[in-house]
Amino acid sequence: MIKRRFGFRGPGSRLGALIVLVVLGLPALARAQVFNPETFTLPNGMEVVVIPNHRVPVVHHMVWYKIGAADEPAGKSGLAHLLEHLMFKGTPTIPPGEFSKIVARNGGQDNAFTSSDFTAYFQSIAKDRLPMVMEMEADRMANLRLSEEDFQTERQVVREERRSRTDNEPGELLSERIGQALWGTHPYKNPIIGWEPELMALTRADALAFYDRYYAPNNAILVVAGDITAAELKPLAERTYGALPRRDTPQRASLRDPLRALPPPAETVITMHHAQVAQPSFSRRYVAPSAAFDPQGMADALEVLDEILGGGSSGRLYKHLVIERGMAVSAGSWYRGEALDWGSFGLYASPRDGVAMADLVAAVDAEVASLLDQGVKADEVDDAKRRLTAGLVYARDSLSEGARALGEALTTGSSVAQVESWPERIKAVTPEQVSAAARAVLGRRDRSVTGFLLPEPRS
Amino acid sequence: MKRLLFALVLLVAPWGAFSAQATPVQTVTTPSGVTAYLLADPTLPIVSLSFILPGGAVSDPADRRGLATLASGLLDEGAGPYDSQAFRARLEDQAIELRFDAGRDSFSGSLKTTTATLEDAFALLRLALHEPRFDAEPVDRIRAQVMTAVRMGEADPQTLASKALFAAVFADSPYAFDEQGSEEGLRAITADDLRGFVRRQLVRQGLAIGVAGDITPEHLSALLERTFGDLPATGDQPPLPVPTPRLAGTTTVIDRDIPQSIALLAQGGLKREDADWQAAYVLNYILGGGGFNSRLMNEVREKRGLAYSVYSTLYPFRTVGLWLAGTATQNARLGESLAVMRAEWARMAESGPTDQELADAKTYLTGAWPLRFTSTEAVAAILASMRMTDLPADYIDRRNAEILALTTDDLRRVAKRLMTPDQLTAVVVGRPEGLPPAADPTAPAVR
């Protein structure tokens, strides 16, 4: 998931950065909790979710489109994200570049982000400014205007964004290669920001065609969290988004599409040496079921597995390899189940000084082998379930987290009910289910890609 | 004119709603004199605490750089009867979040817990502060992690630029070094050094505490007394150094074969306690702190497409302030980005903001103030900062009036007082082109 605006990166880095840097995939997002949302649907098909939170008279207003990088035409990677940038270039009533300025002049903050499966726009603002941002957001859903000059300048901005995020970051460069190898022809193979030559070949016409094809109320979800109720929001939603006509948008590509089939099974290893790497690291990414595409019902068990294997300092990998054997400075796992098609499961580790990478990988492999062979123990599962659900209430100690969790769920094929029943489902997971999920995912080395990020060899 | 009136009408409303009843920040003082600001909020069964102490990395002995950071990573790795794994398990099993953090001239901690585990959470914080164990295994492990982070930072262009800039600006002062320390310093640290750090750093003098969430003042008072009440009054910590920034207006290039150059710039800033703080804060918002509304963003990104990120920020330390700016641009056009940034700096120094810019800044800054109060963690951190900088308990209600009272003349005066475009000192990491001849790319790197 990448954002339009770069957060301030202050001088100095922190201890925590180490852990972030060695994870080559996305860490599992903080999971949804019980948000008690209200929902309704506008006559034009736009779904609406309201999460009341009356702590401060402010709201977090989001519009999510069921469209992302995985929906781009072949050869046009980066288009969904570039369009996200271009959505700030104005309409007949909002001059180019004014959208964010108007929000700010009204005491609000705004931004947008794009993923493989969704594109979202949001504003945090005082409650009495909500009608205004709803009007503006509805306006740009239907009336985008885009000059060739603004297009060219913004593509240049995104080119610089790619340099910052990827070309200057060896971990990201390797991550791109891993994704390509893991997904074959499936569009998840493309980086969201786009391959550089494809990004630079995108045209204004490409962006407008994509916009015309997918930006419609029936392909979008409105999520508002904060000091508001569904009863208060409904007339506003009807007046703004409700005034936009439903338009036919293409059915999202399905897994039956041959291009979305996984590549032939093959164990793959990618080794990247890079001058900017000072610390070697190992990572492995497996194809896994997602919350939405989970024919054998394993997604919940995979969350518990992730906690047992890679959760905090109590997870097996950290406990055994970092604490007990002192072989690694970091080791853990992650599971990303928020995806329309497949999810992914990852392992990572980075050796301590003097430990050979081969020995560390052998130790990780031995942990996985013992897990597949002996499964998990009942008390481990109980501990993991308790840890996963103990901080449930924290998710509501935030204006935006519930809106984000529900928007992500609804644009990746899950439902509100699925989000709300999460604690109960986690509590029901059995040791047998965790062991079976481990075998189904981690037992398939031929559905994984292993990456090594290494310093440049000394010449 | 019509637009201005519209803006002025708008700016009152959101704040009015928030402050209809004064924000009830209470001052809680325990029998032994531990004081905290509390914003009680029973909405959710959660309590967050934040504390800050002066000290941190600038107090590291010269041959033990990284001591404060290593200690911050070890206070929650075993204390009292619990070894590292037992202590971590007590936290993780109950979803108690306990963190310590070493800054360049501060040492801070935070605690977040549900009310169901409130007593245990404060008991664990107490143990971490009073009886950290520093067992050999966690010391070696966390040391290895911090040393790895130091090594990774040396290969990371952004970190490299930051280290080089601070080294140039603060020269021989401890402020020249970042909080992670050096590999040699970290390697030399012993358990005795860590215990010495605890004796000097974890004291009541200068302790600033903020708390938010579902707790009464009486209950909090009892917990604070138990947790902080018998810390030593002082720790013979030497006073913080007062460095004089060296700002020669130079541009130093650190050659790295990367496609995009990273640029960081610095000039003198001010401390949070400075009477001109709010004016400088608004001035910086207009210059480069306000995202898409800032002059730097407009000129560098929106008009020219030169960068994804460009910003400026006030960077106040306890005894000195800096004003920083940064961007990243492909090598071929980095010179252009820097020239635009310097020109905007000079333009603001010369003529200050326009009436419209100030009006827009006021509506944003006052309207967005309530957005900072949406989580207990954020509120606790703000309250601790207020304690640290001696702001009154009703500052949350007074702050917007201070912003609204500012005039363009105030900002022009402060721009004249503070902004020194010819002293903007820059570090560029990459293979930049188009720099003025004064920046000699063959000059030796700072580090």
Interhelix angle for A130-142 vs A230-239, to 10°?
A: 40
Q: Which residue has the higher pLDDT, A137 or A2?
A: A137
Which pLDDT does position B438 carry in this prediction? 56
Which pLDDT does position A6 carry in this prediction? 40
Which pLDDT does position A1 carry in this prediction? 52
HSE, CB side, 13 Å, CA atoms: give it for residue B229: 15
Arithmetic mean of pLDDT over chain B = 92
Cα separation, B223 vs B225, in Å, equals 5
Domain map (residue ranges) of chain A: 38-254, 264-455
Q: Give yes or no for A456 touching B (CB within 8 A).
A: no
DSSP state string for B93-134? HTT-EEEEEE-SSEEEEEEEEEGGGHHHHHHHHHHHHH-B--
Chain A closest-CA separation from residue B200 CA (Å): 22
Residues B216 and B316 in one domain: no
pLDDT band at B1 (very low <50, low <70, confident <90, very high): very low
Which pLDDT does position A311 carry in this prediction? 84
Q: Give yes or no for A127 touching B (CB within 8 A).
A: yes
Which pLDDT does position A4 carry in this prediction? 53
Of all residues in chain A, the one with the smallest CA distance to B298 is: A97
Q: Under CATH, what is the fold of the domain A38-254?
A: Cytochrome Bc1 Complex; Chain A, domain 1 (3.30.830)
Does the annotation mark A84 as catalytic? yes
Which of B139, B152, B285, B404 best probes binding to A when mutated, by most A CB atoms within 10 angstroms? B152
pLDDT band at A31 (very low <50, low <70, confident <90, very high): very low
Cα separation, A404 vs A37, in Å, equals 12
Q: Give yes or no for A105 touching B (CB within 8 A).
A: yes
Chain B closest-CA separation from residue A56 CA (Å): 7
Chain A closest-CA separation from residue B31 CA (Å): 31
Residues B209 and B255 in one domain: no
Which pLDDT does position B21 carry in this prediction? 60
Q: Give yes or no for A354 touching B (CB within 8 A).
A: no
What does the DSSP 8-state code read for residue B245?
Answer: -
Whether B371 and A109 lie within 8 Å, measured CB to CB:
yes
Q: Give yes or no for A128 touching B (CB within 8 A).
A: yes
Residues B223 and B279 in one domain: no
User: Is the pLDDT score of A12 beyond 50?
Assistant: no
Cα separation, A126 vs B130, in Å, equals 43
Chain B closest-CA separation from residue A410 CA (Å): 24
User: Is the pLDDT score of B4 beyond 80?
Assistant: no
Chain B residues in contact with A154 by the CB 8 A cut-off are 305
User: Is the pLDDT score of A66 beyond 90?
Assistant: yes
Q: Does residue B35 lie in a domain region?
A: yes
Chain B residues in contact with A11 by the CB 8 A cut-off are 161-163, 165-166, 178, 264, 315, 324
Q: Which residue has the higher pLDDT, A5 or B36?
A: B36
Chain B residues in contact with A3 by the CB 8 A cut-off are none
Q: Read off the pLDDT of residues A333-370 as tens digits, 9 standing for 90 and up.
A: 999 999 999 999 999 999 999 999 999 999 999 999 99
Of all residues in chain B, the one with the smallest CA distance to A132 is: B10
Q: Does residue B243 lie in a domain region?
A: no
Which pLDDT does position A3 carry in this prediction? 53
Residues B123 and B198 in one domain: yes
Chain A residues in contact with B368 by the CB 8 A cut-off are 104, 107-109, 124
Q: Give yes or no for A323 touching B (CB within 8 A).
A: yes
Q: Read off the pLDDT of residues B380-393 as tens digits, 9 standing for 90 and up.
A: 999 999 999 999 99
Q: Does residue B395 lie in a domain region?
A: yes
Pairing between β-strand A47-52 and β-strand A220-226 as defined by DSSP bridges? parallel
User: Is the pLDDT score of A21 beyond 50?
Assistant: no
Q: Read off the pLDDT of residues A372-399 as tens digits, 9 standing for 90 and up.
A: 999 999 999 999 999 999 988 999 999 9
Chain centroid to CA A76: 20
Chain A residues in contact with B147 by the CB 8 A cut-off are 353
Which pLDDT does position A257 carry in this prediction? 85
Whether B18 and A56 lie within 8 Å, measured CB to CB:
yes
Cα separation, B429 vs A21, in Å, equals 20
Which pLDDT does position A345 carry in this prediction? 98
Q: Collapsing DSSP states into helix, strand and coil, what is residue B290?
A: coil
Pairing between β-strand A343-351 and β-strand A448-455 as defined by DSSP bridges? unpaired
Chain B residues in contact with A326 by the CB 8 A cut-off are 137, 140-141
Pairing between β-strand A268-274 and β-strand A119-126 as defined by DSSP bridges? unpaired
Query: Domain range holding B169?
Result: 24-227
Of all residues in chain A, the one with the smallest CA distance to B266 is: A11
Q: Read off the pLDDT of residues A232-268 as tens digits, 9 standing for 90 and up.
A: 999 999 999 999 999 999 988 877 788 899 999 999 9
Print the SS3 string covering chain A.
CEECCCCCCCCCCCCCHHHHHHCCCCCCCCCCCCCCCEEEECCCCCEEEEEECCCCCEEEEEEEECCCHHHCCCCCCCHHHHHHHHCCCCCCCCCCCHHHHHHHHCCCEEEEEECCCCEEEEEEEEHHHHHHHHHHHHHHHHCCCCCHHHHHHHHHHHHHHHHHHHHCCHHHHHHHHHHHHHHCCCHHHCCCCCCHHHHHHCCHHHHHHHHHHHCCHHHEEEEEEECCCHHHHHHHHHHCHHHCCCCCCCCCCCCCCHHHCCCCCCCEEEEEEECCCCCCEEEEEEEECCCCCCCCCCHHHHHHHHHHHHCCCCCHHHHHHHHHCCCEEEEEEEEECCCCCCEEEEEEEEECCCCCHHHHHHHHHHHHHHHHHHCCCHHHHHHHHHHHHHCHHHHHCCCCHHHHHHHHHHHCCCCHHHHHCHHHHHHHCCHHHHHHHHHHHHCCHHHEEEEEEEECCCC
Cα separation, A35 vs A39, in Å, equals 12
Q: Are B305 and B282 in contact (CB under 8 A)?
A: no
User: Is the pLDDT score of B350 beyond 80?
Assistant: yes
Catalytic residue, from A47, A72, A84, A307: name it: A84
Whether B17 and A157 lie within 8 Å, measured CB to CB:
no
User: Is the pLDDT score of A8 beyond 70?
Assistant: no
User: Is the pLDDT score of B446 beyond 50?
Assistant: no
Taking domain A264-455, whether its CATH number is 3.40.47.10 is answered by: no
> What is the average pLDDT across B1-8?
33
Q: Read off the pLDDT of residues B171-207 as tens digits, 9 standing for 90 and up.
A: 989 999 999 999 999 999 999 999 999 999 999 999 9
Residues B301 and B215 in one domain: no
Beta-carbon neighbour count of residue A233 at 10 Å?
22
Q: Which residue has the higher pLDDT, B343 or B11?
A: B343
Q: What is the largest CA-CA distance in chain B?
A: 69
Which pLDDT does position A259 carry in this prediction? 86
Q: Does residue B6 lie in a domain region?
A: no
Q: Give yes or no for A104 touching B (CB within 8 A).
A: yes
Residues B211 and B253 in one domain: no
Residues B280 and B177 in one domain: no
Q: Read off the pLDDT of residues A286-318 as tens digits, 9 standing for 90 and up.
A: 999 999 999 999 999 999 999 999 988 889 999
Which pLDDT does position A459 carry in this prediction? 60
Q: Are A307 and A388 in contact (CB under 8 A)?
A: yes
Q: pTM for this one?
A: 0.92
Residues B193 and B146 in one domain: yes
Q: Are A106 and B367 in contact (CB under 8 A)?
A: yes
Q: Does residue B374 lie in a domain region?
A: yes
Q: Does residue B339 lie in a domain region?
A: yes
Q: Does residue B7 lie in a domain region?
A: no
> What is the average pLDDT across B47-70?
97
Residues B303 and B406 in one domain: yes
Q: Does residue B91 lie in a domain region?
A: yes
Of A11, A153, A397, the CB nearest to B46: A397
Residues B305 and B220 in one domain: no
Whether B330 and A160 lie within 8 Å, measured CB to CB:
yes
CATH of the domain at B322: 3.30.830.10
Q: How many domains does chain B contain in total?
A: 2
Beta-carbon neighbour count of residue A11 at 10 Å?
21
